[in-house]
Amino acid sequence: MKYKIIEPLHYQQIQAQYHVNSLLAKVIESRHYDEKTLKDMMNPRLIYHDFSLFEEADMTLERIHEAIEQQEKICVYGDYDCDGILATVILVQAFWNWELKWDIIFPIVLMMAMV
């Protein structure tokens, strides 16, 4: 198997212009991104999804407001995959910032190997 060695020539310009480390600058150069793609990649932004599309959104928000008014502890059931953990942490962080009482539960999944 032959390997192609890529010698980045302009990575230092990319590094200075976009304030990225040398490894990322070399990857960017090797991918030959156009200016628009680079600007889009370097522009940090959050993508919000429309929460109202969630079928039970109103009921969920009403229950959270009720728990806050009644000073109840809020239990967050998280999922153990990467987006579930992230979503759980974001929600708990919001509750923590609002100084609410909360608890987290992650389901225990038993995996059995079939032999």
The predicted pLDDT at position 84 comes to: 85
| 81 inside domain | yes
pLDDT above 80: residue 114: no
Summarize the confidence of residues 26-35 as an average pLDDT: 87
Q: Give the mean pLDDT of 48-59.
A: 82
22's tokens: 């040398």
Categorize the per-residue pLDDT at 113 as very low, low, confident or very high, splitting at 50, 70 and 90.
Answer: very low
Q: Has residue 18 been placed in a domain?
A: yes
Residues 67 and 37 reside in one and the same domain: no
Phi, psi of 42 (to 5 degrees): -90, -5
User: 33 and 16: one domain?
Assistant: yes
Return d(Cα 38, Cα 59) in angstroms, integer. Answer: 41
User: What is the pLDDT at residue 18?
Assistant: 85
**Structural domain that includes position 81:** 51-105
Is residue 71 situated within a structural domain? yes
Asked if residue 30 is part of any domain, the answer here is yes
User: Based on the domain organization, do 66 and 32 belong to the same domain?
Assistant: no
- 75 contacts 102 by C-beta, under 8 angstroms: yes
User: Is 6 part of any domain?
Assistant: no
Say whether both 67 and 96 belong to one domain: yes
Domain count, the chain: 2
Q: Would residue 113 count as lying in a domain? A: no
Residue 7 has pLDDT above 90, yes or no: no
Strand partners, 74: 102
Greater pLDDT, 113 or 13: 13
Question: Which residues lie closer than 8 Å to 44 by C-beta, 6 or more apart?
Answer: none
Residues 60-75, mean pLDDT to the nearest whole number: 92
Same domain for 85 and 56: yes
57 plus 83 within the same structural domain: yes
Q: Is residue 83 part of a domain?
A: yes
